[in-house]
């Protein structure tokens, strides 16, 4: 365990779904999914410090993108991650967490899951619990289906709820432009809309094969952006567009400006557009910004690494965000 006042800083990536196939609703209330994740260069940063002045419990502060709408209580995934690790390791759950957010809240990029992944690793390093990556990933799966991937990073196939991961070979670097909305979408609401649309069309959910789609596997092995663009698929896209019709205008704009592929990321509403290189990314970003259809436009690359320590400083005071910093016990 580190000395009081020290801090550990960990960054974990957000993700986009290169493929998201959705099966039937299971008895446990979850849908079977087959997902291909890619970690992209949007990072959540979590600083973990031992509390000072006799403070106990988990404190949390948030700054950055969507900070005002991020919970500061026990529903925050980073807080839950700290408590889970402390319980499994048999150590006191005493830590001050400071989160700097970059991923959109409820944007389909698993920003909250990245917070949880970063908190797990940061607390493990701070407390000296010695949990291995496999053990952290197992705990992450208890917190949410996307948490293990934020720990792993890279490109991976996820089956079951999306948390049973197999790394996937992806050559080269892919360039993406993200169009981010100013209001998120509820993931459960998007899944319910998917079920409603299928029922209205008299269709059944597909029976999923728990394997990497052949065209996507070939595209990733080749590193050819055009092939990857043609292989992108998201079974939740129609549902997200049904709930947020303006997303179709974003998708059309991306295709009109020669994006190699454009899709809603996960349950949305972030739209990810694949382009061949940095120059094309800049040109598309300018067009998206000028359109006024997105509140934020970002140029990112993938795949990138999973959660890792980026800084460790002693001593360093804990800087709370504006407003109160509650204690969660």
Burial of 295: CB neighbours in 10 Å, binned 0-12, 13-18, 19+:
exposed
Q: Please list the active-site residues.
A: 15, 146
User: Among candidates 81, 46, 122, 150, which has minimal Cα distance to 328?
Assistant: 81
Rounded to whole angstroms, how far apart are CA atoms 144 and 141? Answer: 5
> What is the DSSP code string of 220-262?
HHHT-HHHHHHH-EETTHHHHHHH-THHHHHHHHHHHTT-SEE
- Chain mean position to CA 209: 24
Cα–Cα distance, 88 to 104 (Å, whole number): 30
Q: Which residues contact 128 (CB under 8 A, 6 or more apart)?
A: 1, 2
**Strands 296-302, 174-180: parallel, antiparallel or unpaired by DSSP?**
antiparallel
**What is the rounded distance in angstroms from the CA atom of residue 12 to the CA atom of residue 44?**
5
Nearest to 60 by CA among 110, 112, 12, 127: 112
CB 42 within 8 A of CB 13: yes
């Amino acid at each position: 365990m580190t000395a009081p006042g020290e801090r550990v800083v960990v960054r974990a990536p957000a993700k986009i779904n290169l493929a998201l196939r959705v099966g039937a609703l299971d008895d446990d209330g979850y849908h079977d999914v087959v997902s291909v994740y890619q970690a992209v260069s949007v990072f959540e940063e979590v600083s973990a410090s031992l509390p000072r002045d006799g403070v106990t419990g988990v404190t949390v502060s948030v700054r950055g993108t969507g900070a005002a709408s991020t919970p500061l209580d026990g529903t925050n995934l980073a807080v839950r991650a700290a408590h889970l690790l402390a319980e499994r390791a048999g150590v006191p759950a005493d830590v001050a967490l400071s989160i700097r957010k970059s991923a959109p809240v409820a944007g389909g990029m698993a920003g909250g899951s990245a917070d949880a992944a970063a908190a797990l690793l940061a607390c493990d390093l701070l407390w000296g619990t010695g949990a291995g990556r496999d053990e952290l990933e197992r705990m992450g799966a208890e917190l949410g289906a996307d948490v293990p991937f934020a720990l792993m990073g890279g490109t991976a196939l996820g089956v079951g709820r999306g948390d049973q991961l197999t790394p996937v070979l992806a050559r080269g670097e892919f360039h993406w432009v993200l169009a981010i909305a100013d209001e998120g979408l509820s993931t459960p609401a998007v899944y319910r809309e998917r079920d409603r649309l299928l029922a209205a069309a008299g269709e059944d959910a597909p029976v999923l094969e728990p394997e990497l789609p052949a065209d996507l596997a070939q595209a990733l092995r080749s590193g050819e952006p055009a092939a990857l663009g043609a292989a992108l698929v998201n079974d939740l896209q129609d549902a997200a567009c049904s709930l947020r019709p303006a997303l179709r205008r974003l998708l059309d704009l991306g295709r009109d400006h020669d994006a190699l592929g454009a899709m809603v990321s996960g349950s949305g509403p972030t739209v990810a557009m694949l382009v061949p290189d940095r120059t094309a990314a800049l040109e598309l970003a300018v067009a998206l910004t000028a359109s006024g259809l997105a509140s934020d436009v970002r140029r990112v690359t993938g795949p990138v690494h999973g959660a890792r320590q980026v800084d460790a400083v002693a001593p360093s005071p804990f800087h709370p965000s504006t407003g109160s910093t509650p204690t969660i016990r």
